[in-house]
Amino acid sequence: MDAGRVEVLVNWQTDAIKTVSITSSRPVAAQLFIGKTAAQVPVLVPMLFSLCGRAQLLAAQAALKAARGEPLPSAIRQQAEREVTLEALREHLWRLLQDWPMRVGLAVDREGFARWFRLLAPNQAAETARATAQELLAWLSEIGITGSADINDAAPSLAMQILHALNDTCARGTATILPDYLPKLSADEWASHLPTDHQNDFSRMPVLQGQPHEAGAMTRHAWSAPIQALRAEGREVAARYMARWLDVRLLAEALAKDNLASLELLDSAQDIQGRGVACVDTARGMLMHRVALEGAGEDVSDTTTVSEYLVVAPTEWNFHPHGTLPAALQGLKCEQADALELVRRWVLALDPCVAHEVKLA
């Protein structure tokens, strides 16, 4: 199935970015679950969602369990949280060690990344995962990512070289107000905010209390000292880059201490009888599944048919047509080449889960 793409159209005139338009051809894949049985959904999920596949599968399983009024068994939950954490660490390091160096013109340590990619394989035992996390924490300290990192650190590590390279080259005449970060809500709370009709509209352009929000690592680290320091300097892209490193440390610490429950990566709830909601935190932000099974009020089983299915991914929050990207960029004064590069850096910072393209209007 074609995963679609995100297209960012930049209207630059004379000396400034006038408008930024976002269009997405991502299909509403969740529609394919309607009419299938509850047992078929977990089989189809990996076929439709290859990126963050563990998180997608966990969200589907938890939502189906919740629709039946059943919690995930403790042992399954612990294993699922470990797999989702390892998957998130992989996704973070993919961007941090491969995509960001290329974006700023630095060499990529492919061997180093390949090593971490192998070590962070999601399907590993708890003891192995703890050892991997401890090794990762030691490496983070070596490269200057300590959780209270000095953003002016002159350490020659790749991470700090990229951070120093992420200086915005465009000027803004007036202050801009960016959308709020997506708050941490329980699955039960989210159930009260989800629409009962026009679901496809919501999955394409989600809002909370009528407003777009930003998902991702900034939702957990926006108020940390390094992020606040970067934002005070107007370095919004650098702040989001640093937030991913801080998230790597947060996830690794919880994994090393076998304390993933403290992160509340997974939550699920029965909305109404026969309908369940599940939320899973991923590297890009919150992923949500809601499923309704036919025959609400009656016993449901693996052969029960799915009557509705909603998936809301972080990409739809972060690339909302009225979200963070247009708000951050419209009105910036800069040369055309600088404008295009800044847009590309912002797109990488917000990290769509599908192919993307930045073009001039």
Enumerate the domain spans of the chain.
5-360
Model confidence pLDDT, tens digit, residues 290-345 = 999 987 555 666 778 999 999 999 999 999 999 999 999 988 888 888 889 999 99
Nearest alpha carbon to residue 289 among 6, 23, 3, 38: 38
CA dist list (Å): 112 to 88, 139, 158, 307: 18, 11, 12, 46
Model confidence pLDDT, tens digit, residues 247-300 = 999 999 999 999 999 999 999 999 888 899 999 999 999 999 999 998 755 566
What pLDDT score does 16 carry?
87
What pLDDT score does 355 carry?
83
CA dist list (Å): 82 to 47, 61, 122, 215, 249: 22, 15, 7, 21, 15
| Cβ 54 vs Cβ 122: under 8 Å | yes
Tell me the CATH number of domain 5-360, given options 1.10.645.10, 1.10.240.10, 2.60.40.1220, 1.10.10.10.
1.10.645.10
What pLDDT score does 72 carry?
83
- 266-272 vs 275-282, strand pairing mode: antiparallel
State which residues of the chain have pLDDT below 70: 1-3, 146-155, 168-169, 171-175, 296-301
Q: Does the global pTM surpass 0.85?
A: yes
